[in-house]
Structure 1
Amino acid sequence: KSNKNNADFIIPTDSDADRFALTETDITGSTQTGWRILTGNQLGALLGNLPFYLSKEL
């Protein structure tokens, strides 16, 4: 369904939604599914950088 909607990112959750992951479109073609799953460290680095990124725009 996400491929039909041309989604760039998917945020899947477990059944009770107390955990989640982040997947992005694999533009390199290195995965069989076409999606790359970000690790917890990668996601933490992105979220940790967000305040600095947003403060540059102000």
Structure 2
Amino acid sequence: MGAAAVGAAVGMLLAPEKGSDLRKNIKDSAGKWTDRLSDMWQNGKKAAEKASSKIQTEM
């Protein structure tokens, strides 16, 4: 996933756009990546809590 982010950033930097448009695109992409990482973190946290609960009930 990190390589995809780097590839997207390089692609944006090499694209012929106005500076203001480029900054907006980078900001939008960063927000999307932040949202995805947050979702992944929350899903991982829920899975860990579920596994912990299951282990505790089996003991």
Give me the TM-score of the superposition, normalised by structure 1.
Answer: 0.33
Question: Structure 2-normalised TM-score?
Answer: 0.33
Between structure 1 and structure 2, the one with the greater Rg is 2
Higher RCO (Cα < 8 Å, 6 or more apart): 2
Q: Which has the higher helix share?
A: 2
